[in-house]
Amino acid sequence: MKIRLLFILGALIISHGGNAHNSDKKLGTQVKHLAKSSQSWDGTPLPNYLGGKPEITILNIKIPPGTRLPLHRHPVINAGYLIKGELTVVKEDGKKRLKMKAGDTLIELVNQWHYGKNEGKTTAEIVVFYAGSSGQEITVKKK
């Protein structure tokens, strides 16, 4: 249920167009399917939801060129949409990485250490939707 709400919120906020069965030609409304998965970008199955009161968090994150984010993990399921720029997501061991460009989506890693870095020449801007529980952290930095 939470993941469904997550993608509905994403579609409403981003307002992209596309699938014929979801279009209303009279109103000019279109819906484009951006992402749907039960796995993270590296193929790891997403965990089951924990109990508790649901809480959705939506962040707009801007990462300047040449910036590497700290090593971190997300204890909650989350997904992102890269609005502009380029972004590379790298797992802690460096063996798996995902290169993103504007318009790409991301089903993020859950409880796996990773970092993002902007190797491009312009600021990367990503909107990330987190589906957690009230009071639960969405990001934990490695010490």
pLDDT score of 4 more than 90: no
Domain that holds residue 117: 38-141
Asked whether residue 12 is assigned to any structural domain, the reply reads no
Q: Is 5 domain-assigned?
A: no
Closest to 65 in 3D by CA, of 124, 128, 114? 124
In Å, how far from its chain's centre is CA 101?
13
Q: Among 20-24, 40-44, 53-57, 66-70, whose mean pLDDT is lowest? A: 20-24
**pLDDT band for position 16 (50/70/90)?**
very low
Q: Is residue 32 part of a domain?
A: no
Prediction pTM value: 0.79
User: Looking at residue 19, what is its pLDDT?
Assistant: 44
| CA pair distance 23, 30, nearest whole angstrom | 5
What tens digit of pLDDT does each residue of 91-125 get?
A: 999 999 999 999 999 999 999 999 999 999 999 99
Number of C-beta neighbours around residue 54 at 10 A? 14
CATH code, domain with 51: 2.60.120.10
Can you read off the two tokens belonging to residue 1? Answer: 């249920």
> Do the domain assignments include residue 19?
no
Q: What is the pLDDT of residues 64-101, one digit of tens each?
A: 999 999 999 999 999 999 999 999 999 999 999 999 99
Report the C-alpha gap between 143 and 133 in whole angstroms. 24
Which amino acid is residue 135, in one-letter code? G
| Number of folded domains that form the chain | 1
Per-residue pLDDT of 32-52, as tens digits, reads 999 999 999 999 999 998 788
> What was the pLDDT predicted at 8?
43
Q: Give 28's pLDDT tier (boundaries 50, 70, 90).
A: confident
pLDDT of 22: 56
Residue 18 has pLDDT above 50, yes or no: no
Sheet order of strands, 105-107 included: 54-63, 124-133, 77-84, 105-107
